[in-house]
Structure formats: structure tokens, C-alpha cells
Chain A
């Protein structure tokens, strides 16, 4: 992607404008950052009821097996530290593409949809991820970038009640289940997941039917549109990483606190231990601990500490904020950043440099707000 590439419009652009969206450029797309209600209300509504997000900018990639799902799963494991071969049909999990130095190329969700895998990747990494997968998986998979489907996320405690009016079977799904539902003759790929810390669903459906489906949801009293701004504050409160900010090629999964995305079978002593890029470093950090860690941060005053804020301890620079802002449900500023392991314990008092002044900030456990997935 280059700077002068024209911004792409989402299939639902007209709907966003009709809903009073303010559009901003993001990862090559014109994206609704907020609607007329504003970030705060959209965030709080999602926590209380259900927010509808258009995340169609994200990359949807089908991996269609050429020589069986098992061979494909093992080939994918050569790129990813997650247990892919053990992912059952109808289930989804979080994964990372790592590089040879143990950095993170992208984070994604991978679903076993029985006949194939569906991988949902970050918009800004879409082209690189496609090239990466084509370069390594072509002998065992057709790597297909899906270009004719929208992706909607319905997030919040009343998501199930709302969505089940259109797709009754979703009420039986648990967190990280994936199914195909039919609406008006169209296949909708449903996963019970999201990135808000709430129960919810992600819905991939043909662009041709996306507006009608979105409007059917928005007509329900529980559902209100929510933009990228609320998506960002929701995921920050939930302690979830934003690629390109909290994680990138300079951060390892273990430093980022994403060791849970490396299942025991891929760790030392597991049946398929290692075998992914950067495994030496990543397995060593799992055993010995990394030198620095991603932590939650609670500024003690009211001033937010934004991305890039320098962190100090005893006058020495010790780290940097990678995401920061105001948590509408927490009711206070919150942030995440990297600090040396010795300073990563909750309660450790640091200073963040805000407008040339050192302001107190305490290391805090993540997430800032208890998540509410339907296990």
C-alpha cells in the first residue's frame, strides 16, 4: 500500500453516511470512526446492549486444501506457533504469523470450517499476509483472498438476542464456534467472537446482501452502529493488542503476553514443539521469561497517556506506551506499554512523560475490565 493509492470505499459506505458516520482513512479504506452518537455513547452502548461494527476492511482468506486438511494444518503450523492441527471442525482460534527473529508479522483468527480454513487478518497486513501464505502454502493449499464479502461484528451482551431473531441457530453457539447460517438464501459465515471483550459475533456475508442484513439488525432496539473509535476503546479496555501498535516485528509473542496463543503441543516437550519461525527465541522466552513485558497502565491523574508516551522509573527511561486513551467503561485513562520484567508487577509505580512533565502511572493487571465471553 502506498500513500497515493486512492482510498477504497466499503460496500456499506452509503449506509454509514446515512447513519451520520464521520469517515477517516484507515489502512487504505474510508472507515467510519464514529456515528452521530459519538465514541463514548457507542462504546457504552456496546457494553450495555449491542454495537454493530463494519470491519469489512479486514482480510478474509480461504485456505482450500489440495491434499487434505491435515497436511494443510501442519503446513500452516510451520508459519504459526498455534495448535492448528488440533483445531476441531467448527472451531476458531487466535494465531500469529511470526518471523525468523521471533517478531510478529500479524495476528489473526483462523477457523476450521471443515472443508477449508478461513483466516481473518488485519487490513494493513492483508497483502503481505496473502503473499506470505502463497509463498509457503501453495503446495498444499489454494490461497484465496475473499473480495466479495462484507464482514460485520455484532458485539455486546444483547448480541445473541438480536442476532437470533434473524439466525435462530446462533443461540446454540459457544465462544469461538464457527458455523454457516442461511439468510435470504445467502450463506453467512458466523463466528462467536469479536474484539471488544464482550460476547458477540462476526458475520461474513455477500456484499450484495450486507446492507439489508445490517439494516435488519439496526432496526432492533438493542442494536446501534459503532465505529472504529469505539472498537479501539473497547479492545483497549479488554487488554487486546492492536497490530502495528502493541505488537509488530519488534515484539515477540511472549513479550506481548500472548503465550496463551502457543498451545502446549507447540511448546518444549509437546508433540509438535517448535517448527515455526523464531521458535528458538520464543521457546526460550517461554522457559526463561522475556526481558520486557506488555503491561496495563493506569495513569493516576485524568490526563490520558497516548501511544508514544515515554515511561520512566527513578528518572531512567524504561519503556513506551503502545496504546493509550480514555476507557469509557473504566471511567479513567488507561494504556498499555512495554516495561522491563522487573517492573511489570501490578502496582509498580512509574512515570509517564506528558507534555514534558512526569506524571504518575501504575502498572495494572490486564484486562482493565472483565471480559464476558459465552464459554
Chain B
């Protein structure tokens, strides 16, 4: 598992990268009440706003961590947005993205580095 400085986690699954937010981020956001997901087959660039999360308090954007094509989105979040709070590392994933070269993940934080960042 890799992590971004924006509190996303990235997990390789075959030739795809699964993206979600960390437990730390989910706690900070508070109770999630709405999630807007990207279109499947959308081509996105690193830094694009691809997901909108609304908590009781405020809206937050999730940025695409890498360039690629959105292959699958977690439709369960549309009806059950609080999966992001209940299981951020599992059932609360947002989307799967296909990248040209999985080695782009080498640039991201590993777990120790992420834990150090939020400590």
C-alpha cells in the first residue's frame, strides 16, 4: 500500500490501482453524507478533482493521484456514503484506475513515511 500527502491510499490490484482515503482522513472529515464519483472510462490527469466528498460539515475534493483511465467506481458509496467512515481501507474505496506504468507508485509514501507525516 502506498499513500499520498493528500491522505489517499493506493493499492495495486492486477494492472489497476485502487484508490481510497486513509482512516486518518476519514476521521478528520467526519460523517460522510454524500460521495460523487467520476465517470467510468474517464481519462484523468494527476491533480484533477475526481471525487467530491461531503461530510455533515463541509465538502472536500479527492484528487487523482496519477494519470490514467477510470475503470471502475464504487457505486455502493452513492447509497451508503458512510462506508467511507466505517471501512475506509476496504469497502470505502472510491475508484480503480489503469495507469501506463505501475512504477509511478514508487514516488509515493510508504506506510512508515505516511504515519510519520500525520504523527
**Are A233 and B54 in contact (CB-based, < 8 A)?**
no
- Whether A337 sits at the interface, judged by CB under 8 Å, is no
**Are A304 and B59 in contact (CB-based, < 8 A)?**
yes
How many chain A residues touch the partner (CB < 8 A)? 18
**Are B52 and A326 in contact (CB-based, < 8 A)?**
no
Residues in B whose Cβ lies below 8 Å from that of A325: 56-57
Partner of B31 from A38, A302, A304, A355 at Cβ < 8 Å: A38
How far, in whole Å, are A39 and B55 apart by their CA atoms in the complex? 9
- Whether B33 sits at the interface, judged by CB under 8 Å, is yes
Residues in A whose Cβ lies below 8 Å from that of B31: 38-41, 328
Residues in B whose Cβ lies below 8 Å from that of A302: 33-34, 78, 81
Within 8 A of A (CB), among B55-90: 55-59, 78, 81
In the assembled complex, how far is the CB of residue B76 from the closest CB belonging to chain A, in whole angstroms? 14
How far, in whole Å, are A328 and B55 apart by their CA atoms in the complex? 11
**Are B56 and A328 in contact (CB-based, < 8 A)?**
yes
Residues in B whose Cβ lies below 8 Å from that of A333: 33-34
How far, in whole Å, are A65 and B78 apart by their CA atoms in the complex? 59
Partner of A303 from B36, B55, B56, B57 at Cβ < 8 Å: B36
How far, in whole Å, are A40 and B54 apart by their CA atoms in the complex? 13
**Binary interface encoding of chain B residues 93-118 relative to chain A, with 1 for a CB under 8 A from any of its CBs, else 0:** 00000000000000000000000000
**Are A229 and B34 in contact (CB-based, < 8 A)?**
no
Within 8 A of B (CB), among A16-60: 33-34, 38-41, 43
Residues in A whose Cβ lies below 8 Å from that of B34: 302-304, 326, 333
**Are A229 and B30 in contact (CB-based, < 8 A)?**
yes
In the assembled complex, how far is the CB of residue B41 from the closest CB belonging to chain A, in whole angstroms? 20
The answer to whether A38 and B54 touch (CB under 8 A), given A303-B36, A304-B59, is no
**Are B30 and A304 in contact (CB-based, < 8 A)?**
no
User: Is the interface on chain B under 10, 10 to 19, 20 to 34, or 35 or more residues?
Assistant: 10 to 19
Residues in A whose Cβ lies below 8 Å from that of B78: 302
**Are B56 and A40 in contact (CB-based, < 8 A)?**
yes
- Whether A294 sits at the interface, judged by CB under 8 Å, is no
- Whether A306 sits at the interface, judged by CB under 8 Å, is yes
In the assembled complex, how far is the CB of residue B53 from the closest CB belonging to chain A, in whole angstroms? 11
How far, in whole Å, are A160 and B57 apart by their CA atoms in the complex? 29
In the assembled complex, how far is the CB of residue B107 from the closest CB belonging to chain A, in whole angstroms? 29
Residues in B whose Cβ lies below 8 Å from that of A41: 31
**Are B52 and A233 in contact (CB-based, < 8 A)?**
no
Considering only CB atoms, which chain B residue lies closest to A232 in the complex? Answer: B57
Residues in B whose Cβ lies below 8 Å from that of A229: 30, 56-57
**Are A304 and B54 in contact (CB-based, < 8 A)?**
yes
In the assembled complex, how far is the CB of residue B63 from the closest CB belonging to chain A, in whole angstroms? 14
Considering only CB atoms, which chain A residue lies closest to B85 in the complex? Answer: A38
Considering only CB atoms, which chain B residue lies closest to A325 in the complex? Answer: B56
How far, in whole Å, are A33 and B56 apart by their CA atoms in the complex? 12
**Are A33 and B57 in contact (CB-based, < 8 A)?**
yes
How far, in whole Å, are A355 and B34 apart by their CA atoms in the complex? 14
How far, in whole Å, are A355 and B57 apart by their CA atoms in the complex? 17
Within 8 A of B (CB), among A51-98: none
**Are A233 and B56 in contact (CB-based, < 8 A)?**
yes
**Are B30 and A303 in contact (CB-based, < 8 A)?**
no
Residues in A whose Cβ lies below 8 Å from that of B81: 302
**Are B52 and A39 in contact (CB-based, < 8 A)?**
no
How far, in whole Å, are A38 and B54 apart by their CA atoms in the complex? 15
18 A-B contacts (beta carbon < 8 Å): A34-B30, A38-B31, A39-B31, A39-B56, A40-B30, A40-B56, A43-B56, A229-B57, A302-B78, A302-B81, A304-B59, A306-B59, A326-B34, A328-B31, A328-B56, A333-B34, A355-B36, A355-B52
B residues neighboring A (CB under 8 Å)? 30-31, 33-34, 36, 52, 54-59, 78, 81
Given A38-B31, A233-B56, A326-B34, 15 more A-B residue pairs with CB atoms under 8 Å apart are A33-B57, A34-B30, A38-B30, A39-B57, A43-B56, A229-B56, A229-B57, A302-B34, A302-B81, A303-B34, A303-B36, A303-B54, A326-B54, A326-B56, A333-B33
* Smallest CB-CB A-B distances: 10 pairs: A40-B31, A326-B33, A39-B56, A302-B34, A326-B56, A304-B54, A303-B34, A38-B31, A229-B57, A38-B30
A residues neighboring B (CB under 8 Å)? 33-34, 38-41, 43, 229, 233, 302-304, 306, 325-326, 328, 333, 355
